[in-house]
Structure 1
Amino acid sequence: MDKKFSNKAVNFFKKEGFYIILFICLCIVATVALLTARNNKNQSAELQNSKATEQKQVKQTAKADNKSSSSYDNALQVKKSSNTNTNAQQKTSKEVSSSVSTSFQKPVEGVIARGFSEDPVYWDSTATYRPNLGYDIQTDLGKPVFAAMDGKVEEVNTATQDGVEIILDHQNGLKTVYSNLDPNVKVSVGQMVKKGAVIGIVGKSTLRSAYEKYGNHLHFAVLKGKEFVDPGKYIKY
């Protein structure tokens, strides 16, 4: 019986062996294909995840670059604006400096009766020796007195030893002083005056030099800072 069964089995495999092997091969191919497809799917998913991560990193990097570039551009703009402001300020300062003139007009028509002297000189009016920190300009009583330069009226003094006095601040470090004026002055404190404007007339209000031999005169002085300087540096008679 066993022999008969064995013969049947051998005959079966002889007849159907090809199909059995073909079936097994197909099963193997299907299994390999299934495994390959699964691996490809996993690899595709990993690749997509990798691409997504790379894109995210690229976006973040681009965002950071844009922010950095924006900050840099803003810094350049601020620097440029600062340089522009600095240049504008320097230009304005130069324009102001160049617009301020130190050329004086004669404050009154006349001649120099006593010049500037830091050393003491003799005064007939007081019989004393003292400096003359300005010009005594001999002229006629009532002669108009002019602003030597554009300026602002800083003081109008009516009770000094040099008589009625006007001080103009020229806002360039210089001030001019006009003394021995008539009490009827033409300007007031705080007023802006132009070069050549009439600010008063020659009077006889001085006590210090009322009896000098040269008679009627305007006492004219120049202040540079707080120091009196020779008016001859700015006007010629």
Structure 2
Amino acid sequence: MDKKFSNKAANFFKKEGFYVILFICLCIVATVALLTARNNKNQSAELQKQRNEAIEQKQVKQTAKADKNSSTSYDNALQVKKAGQANANAQKETSKEVSNSMSTSFQKPVEGVIARGFSEDPVYWDSTGTYRPNLGYDIQTDLGKPVFAAMDGKVEAVNTATQDGVEIILDHQNGLKTVYSNLDPNVKVSVGKIVKKGTVIGIVGKTTLRSAYEKYGNHLHFAVIKGKEFADPGKYIKY
């Protein structure tokens, strides 16, 4: 009986041996493939983890650098702002000191009386036989009377050949200018000179052509310019 069983077993293996070996090989291949896939998955996970850590470290460095640059820019902007405020304050203080040091009220440019007042409407002139405005005061006074700066200022011009005669223009650097005409040619100041209120800048002369033969005779023609327009001197001085 043992012999018979052995023969059957031998015959089975002869017939089915190929398939058994094939099955075993497939099992081995599947096992190897499974292990390989698992190892690859683990390696991929590890590599991805390392990449994520590297990216996080890079982001941290970039954030720290950006914070540093932002802080530096803010500090620089703050310093510039403070410097600008300091300059503005210094300029304000300087302007304040200049304003405080300057006299802002007028004094009479010459002793005398108003012979012809300010008029934007045309008035009759004996000297020319015509009608025209008088954009200032004609102050009747004596020949040779001293003429004073009405307010602190700077000599802008000394004109020696105008219809109103020799004239001096003072810029008071506050939006106002004053004009002194019909002066003697021997003026006391020059262009660019800084003068104080009450400084003698010249004397009354007889150089005008426009009003040389008016009935009131010798006079100083005094005008005020505000911005670019002539203004009534009566707003600034009283006679």
TM range (shorter): 0.5 to 0.7
Which letter does structure 1 place at the counterpart of 2:212?
A: A
SS of 2:80 mapped into structure 1: helix
CA displacement at 1:88 relative to structure 2: 3.4
Distance 1:99 1:112 in 2: 31
Is 1:108 aligned to 2:117, yes or no? no
2:121 paired residue number: 119
Q: Share of identical aligned residues, percent?
A: 89
Change in 2 beyond 3 A, CA 1:213/1:68: closer
Amino acid at match of 1:218: L
Write the letter of the residue equivalent to 2:227.
G
Aligned position for 1:134: 136
Which segments of 5 or more consecutive residues in structure 1 lack a partner in the other structure? 1-56
2:139 maps to 1:157: no
CA contact (8 A) 1:100 1:172 kept: no
Letter in 1 for 2:214: E
C-alpha separation between the residues in 1 aligned to 2:75 and 2:159? 60
Asked if the contact 2:121/2:133 (under 8 Å) is kept, the reply is yes
The code of the aligned residue for 1:167 comes to I
Match of 1:184 among 168, 186, 192: 186
Alpha-carbon contact 2:181-2:220 (below 8 Å) kept: yes
Q: How far did 1:159 drift?
A: 1.8
In structure 2, the gaps of 5 or more residues are 1-58
Q: 1-side partners of 2:62 and 2:128: how far apart? A: 93
Q: Structure 1: which amino acid aligns with 2:143?
A: L
Whether the aligned pair in 2 keeps the contact of 1:102 and 1:234 (CA below 8 Å) is no
Letter aligned with residue 112 of structure 1? I
Cα distance change of structure 1 residues 188 and 76 upon mapping to structure 2, 3 Å threshold: closer
Match of 2:196 among 172, 180, 194: 194
Q: Does 1:215 align with 2:196?
A: no
* 2: CA distance, partners of 1:223 / 1:183: 23
| Worse-superposed segment, 186-195 or 85-94 | 85-94
Per the alignment, do residues 59 and 161 of structure 1 end up closer, same or farther by CA in structure 2, a change over 3 Å counting?
closer
TM-score of the superposed pair, with normalisation by structure 1: 0.67
Equivalence for 1:174: 176
CA distance in 2, matches of 1:151, 1:124: 34
**TM-score (norm: length of structure 2):** 0.67
2:181 partner letter: S
- In 1: Cα distance, 2:166 partner to 2:70 partner: 70
Equivalent in the alignment of 1:42: none
In structure 2, what residue type is equivalent to 1:198?
V
Q: How many residues align?
A: 186
Structure 2 contact 103–197 (Cα < 8 Å) conserved: no
Between the aligned partners of 1:63 and 1:160, the Cα distance in structure 2 is 73
